[in-house]
Amino acid sequence: MKKKTCRQILYCIFLAVLILMGLFLKKKSDRTQAVNSQSVLAMQAEELPPRVALTFDDGPHRIYTRNLLDGLRERGVKATFFVVGENIPGNEELIRQMEEDGHLIGNHTYDHADISKMSDEENCRELRKTSELVKQITGHQTAYVRPPFGNWKESMDCRISMIAVKWTIDTLDWKSKNVEEIIRKVMQQVSDHDIILMHDYYATSVEAALQIVDRLKAEGYEFVTVEDLILT
């Protein structure tokens, strides 16, 4: 009887040891997997190039927007264009080219209105008019809006789901109209995930933008649309 009891005790001890060893090995394995996962994520992060979004307001312009689109196409670069509705009639082909080249087309109101100084009804009308014009050409409405002067009313509900997009680097290209100064502003400030504000309504802005693309690409930057920057 005593021998049987001893065997049972030894058996229980043996099982306990096995269970403890199993728990120890599992914990060690989990730690190893966690470390490996962190290492993989770190390696992936190191391999990803810095990304920036070039954005252009106020167009389309009959001459300058076309020159910009051609230059971006030659360089294989995608950008975001926040268009003013009243500039679309007569420039439908430029909107079509933006769409075909893979650029993102956003809304900059119909006549560059300051949303903060208007009623919600007036604002909705401004945004809808531009969105409908874009839809007539591309088949879809605008999902993103760049409020003129950066003024946006978060409470505004136009029954149109639009994401307001501002910027992290303001080139003030409309003010200086100086190619080298515009380039210098960007190169001194740029970093990963920046949104660069420019305008496709000036010859100097287009020239500066294409030089910025060349310089940043040489430094390993990737150009994406605002949507790609936000969603990834």
The band of 42, judged by pLDDT with boundaries at 50, 70 and 90, is very low
Q: Which contiguous run of DSSP H or E holds residue 164?
A: strand 163-164
pLDDT of residue 89 exceeding 50: yes
What percentage of the chain has pLDDT greater than the value 70?
78
Tens-digit pLDDT profile for residues 109-144: 999 999 888 888 898 899 999 999 999 999 999 999
Q: Which of 30, 57, 101, 111 is catalytic?
A: 57
**Is 114 known to be catalytic?**
no
Residue of 47 and 97 predicted with greater confidence = 97
Output the pLDDT for position 91.
98
What's the DSSP call for residue 196?
E
CA-to-CA distance for 116 and 151, rounded, in angstroms? 6
Tens-digit pLDDT profile for residues 43-85: 444 678 999 999 999 999 999 999 999 999 999 999 999 999 9
Q: Which contiguous run of DSSP H or E holds residue 62?
A: none
Point out which residues pair with 56 in neighbouring strands.
81, 198
CA-to-CA distance for 164 and 145, rounded, in angstroms? 5
**Is 199 known to be catalytic?**
yes
CA-to-CA distance for 188 and 212, rounded, in angstroms? 11
Output the pLDDT for position 154.
72
Q: Which of 61, 103, 108, 199 is catalytic?
A: 199
Tens-digit pLDDT profile for residues 178-213: 999 999 999 999 999 999 999 999 999 999 999 999
Dig out the tokens for 125 from the structure.
Answer: 């009308």
CA-to-CA distance for 54 and 67, rounded, in angstroms? 15
> Across residues 157-180, what is the average pLDDT?
90
CA-to-CA distance for 128 and 134, rounded, in angstroms? 10
Contacts of 194 (CB under 8 A, 6+ apart): 52, 53, 168, 169
Residue 228 CB neighbours (<10 A)? 15
User: For the chain, percent helix, then strand, then coil, each to nearest 5?
Assistant: 55, 10, 30
